[in-house]
Amino acid sequence: MARRTVSLTMRPERLELDDLPGLVALEGEGQPHPWSKAQLHNALVDERAHVLGMKAHAVLQGFAVFYRLPFEAELQAITVAPQARRQGIASVLLAHGITQARAWNSERLLLEVRASNQAAIAVYRRAGFQQDGVRRGYYRNGAGREDAWLMSLPLVAGKA
Ligand SMILES: CC(C)(COP(=O)(O)OP(=O)(O)OC[C@H]1O[C@@H](n2cnc3c(N)ncnc32)[C@H](O)[C@@H]1OP(=O)(O)O)[C@@H](O)C(=O)NCCC(=O)NCCS
């Protein structure tokens, strides 16, 4: 079967406060460890944050939150609706976030991901991220703890 790809009419756009209800709904539906409404609100109003989304027929299908740090940028959240996965939406959001981080002159794009999240790790590796280290037991996982993988993508030629 041919791989479905992102519809040509679906383009990343900068999300605004009006998009908060859609963000809350998508995060609740698609993220096992969802951000709260307050966290999503704060991202939308924080001038250091760049919140990108992709919509089909005005319904949010995926979003990603990028933050500008003093020297680097960080991907803090990315979620795609379960029925819209494996169409390249996360990859397109990531590519646009990388372009934004380059525009900020960030040296690297950083992220943390649960060691068990093989889908996300596959997306990041495909975008060129490398693993820099592990934070042992960083995340709560039910009654136990789970490691975080620290990953990064160098953005400035010659810096790794
Ligand atoms: C992780 C997530 C954002 C990926 O979104 P997506 O739009 O489905 O990803 P893409 O379609 O861009 O995938 C690109 C490539 O990554 C790899 N990939 C993506 N999902 C995968 C999976 N479940 N298993 C294996 N590889 C996967 C594949 O190589 C895929 O390309 P292919 O479909 O041509 O094989 C999505 O699964 C999700 O929302 N998960 C829940 C929230 C989450 O875990 N967020 C990350 C927190 S750090």
Q: What is the pLDDT of residue 51?
A: 98
How many residues are given for the chain? 160
DSSP string spanning 93-105?
HHHHHHHHHHHTT
Q: What is the pLDDT of residue 157?
A: 63
Please, how many CA atoms are within 13 Å of residue 86, restricted to the half-sphere of its CB?
Answer: 7
Q: How far is the CA of 75 from the centre of ligand 1 (A)?
A: 15
Distance (Å) of CA 64 to CA 75, 76, 118, 141: 7, 8, 18, 23
Total structural domains in the chain? 1
Residue in 70, 74, 61 with CA at minimum distance from that of residue 129: 74
Specify if 118 maps to a domain.
yes
Specify if 20 maps to a domain.
yes
Per-residue confidence band for 3, with pLDDT thresholds at 50, 70 and 90: low
Specify if 26 maps to a domain.
yes
Specify if 144 maps to a domain.
yes
Specify if 6 maps to a domain.
no
Q: What is the pLDDT of residue 10?
A: 83
Q: What is the pLDDT of residue 47?
A: 96
Q: What is the pLDDT of residue 5?
A: 72
In which domain, by residue range, is 94 found? 13-154
Residue nearest to atom 21 of ligand 1 (CA): 119
Residue nearest to atom 22 of ligand 1 (CA): 119
Per-residue confidence band for 1, with pLDDT thresholds at 50, 70 and 90: very low
Q: Which atom of ligand 1 is nearest to the CA of 75?
A: 48
Specify if 2 maps to a domain.
no
State phi, psi for 125 to the nearest 5 degrees.
-60, -40
Specify if 41 maps to a domain.
yes
Residue in 60, 94, 59 with CA at minimum distance from that of residue 74: 94
Q: Is the pLDDT of residue 66 over 90?
A: yes
Q: Say which CATH number the domain at 58 has.
A: 3.40.630.30
Would you call 16 a catalytic residue per the annotation? no
Specify if 3 maps to a domain.
no
* Average of per-residue pLDDT values in the chain: 94
Task: Kindly state the average pLDDT of the residues 120-145.
Answer: 96
**Minimum mean pLDDT among 4-18, 73-87, 98-112: which range?**
4-18
26 vs 62: CA distance, rounded Å: 8
